[in-house]
Structure 1
Amino acid sequence: MILLFERPIRIGDIVTINQLSGTVSKIQTRATTIIDWDNKEIVVPNKAFITEKLINWSLTDPITRIVIPIGVAYGSDIEKVESILYEIATSHPLVLEEPSPSVFFLAFGASSLDFELRVYITAIDHRLSTIHIINKDIDRRFNENGIEIAFPQMDLHIRDMPSSSEDK
């Protein structure tokens, strides 16, 4: 009854409850049907919408934020990294001007200088395609500008090495 009166979800809304995401297709007295991204119908007891954590991606505003983490190699020109990320974000047709894209240099990671690109798009439906295109652009532009995307590295320091006569 709470679902029917408070209306935290509506048919057509994109929701996430626990680890399940999809589009609400039916709301009935005992359960709600969600169609997930694999086009499977999943029946969720309405109690879950009241007692569990619910994210409704489209209830009041379809605008959503995408956060893309990027790690670049130590020694990279951080001003250039920041500039390229802003250029990529502002040139993408689905990225909104307001709220404006932002780039943050977050940390000196174990194997990388850790950045984050944050952009807003008009609807969750464009989320994966936008991430895909932005990631491709980052790879291409970083390659063109000699910026290496970092990967985990480990240095080994050997303290005692057996002498060659002991090996025999």
Structure 2
Amino acid sequence: YGVWAPILPALGVFEQVVLWDYRGEIKGEEVTVSVSLSDFLLSALWLLVMWVAARNLPGLMEIILERWTSQDPGTRYASITVTRYLIVAIGLVVILSGLGLQWSQLQWLVAALGVGLGFGLQEIFANFISGLIILFERPVRVGDMVSIGNQTGHIKKIHIRATVLEDFDRKEIIVPNKKLITEQVTNWTLSDTSTRILLDVGVAYGSDPREVESILRESANSVPGLTQDPPPGVWFMGFGESALNFRLRAFVADAEVRMDTTSELHYAIEKALRDHGISIPFPQRDIHIRGLEGLNLVPPQEPKTT
């Protein structure tokens, strides 16, 4: 302050530069209020403060929440996003007030915005409201694995208008927020990360069904990714055209490793059946051609050499 104190009186010249006047109300009386260059520069300073705060405070808040609280990533992301919205909203109110823009002067803008929402901007507004519902109600969270239509992946970011879904090919799919609210969405990890695996296995006729059931159950119990509560189950489903059909049901503790666990289960079942001499058949067909009984079939003769 000691360095800048001699300069501060010189800045008062900005107060003398009037940019515009507006009619305001002070203690119930209408007066003419002037907006000076000093007010404009102060509003610009508030704009800079708002921009810096909106960019940096949410990141600082995320570090504090991650270190000192036990909130999950989805809750932290929702809190940080709402904080950023509040910073921008408060900053705009302060800036507009400093420039002399009052509610009475903004009514025409609000009316025009309402007309725009009724026509061309209604989808954008619907996506914005849907984004707020997602942040507060949290049907999906950042990091959740969801299925939307024929797309499955992880929620990466939730923006004002749309949500970013990253599929298993590492492609980012932009999904409008309204779609997450109005359409059916499967959240694989909302309240329980476990998921079920159903595996159909066919063995050759002549195999002992009880032995096959025991082999399948032991194979499932040997795979580390499968849970024991509930335990794996095996059922003899029926007699197929070429095989005795069994169904194995098991649960994976974490949906993230569903495919890896399913692959390990396939390896374990194939090896166990091969070790016990039980084959997995493939469809076979016998072809009978009628009308060949009365034909005199002459075997082909080898050509004579000269």
TM-score, normalised with respect to structure 1: 0.90
Deviation at 1:166, TM superposition (A): 7.6
Deviation at 1:155, TM superposition (A): 2.7
Considering only aligned residues, what root-mean-square deviation do their CA atoms show, in Å?
A: 1.9
Listed one character per residue, the Cα deviations across residues 31-59 of structure 1 (whole Å, up to 9, x for unaligned) are 11111001111111223223433111100
Alpha-carbon distance in 2 for matches of 1:78, 1:67:
19
- Asked if 1:72 is matched to 2:221, the reply is no
- Asked if 1:116 is matched to 2:247, the reply is yes
- Asked if 1:28 is matched to 2:167, the reply is no
Change in 2 beyond 3 A, CA 1:81/1:26 = same
Greater fraction strand: 1
Alpha-carbon distance in 2 for matches of 1:166, 1:149:
38
Runs of 4+ in 1 over 6 A off after TM superposition: none
- Asked if 1:56 is matched to 2:56, the reply is no
Listed one character per residue, the Cα deviations across residues 76-130 of structure 1 (whole Å, up to 9, x for unaligned) are 2111110001111112222111011101111222222111111112101111111
Structure 2 SS opposite 1:128:
helix
Question: Which residue in the other structure is 1:88 paired with?
Answer: 219
Question: Which residue in the other structure is 2:264 paired with?
Answer: 133
Deviation at 1:71, TM superposition (A): 1.2
Structure 1 SS opposite 2:201:
strand
Change in 2 beyond 3 A, CA 1:47/1:167 = farther
Higher relative contact order (CA 8 A, sep 6+): 1
Structure 2 SS opposite 1:98:
coil
Deviation at 1:142, TM superposition (A): 0.6
Letter in 1 for 2:279: E
Deviation at 1:159, TM superposition (A): 3.3
Letter in 1 for 2:134: L
Question: Which residue in the other structure is 1:157 paired with?
Answer: 288
Aligned residues: 168
Greater fraction helix: 2
Question: Which residue in the other structure is 1:13 paired with?
Answer: 144
Change in 2 beyond 3 A, CA 1:71/1:33 = same
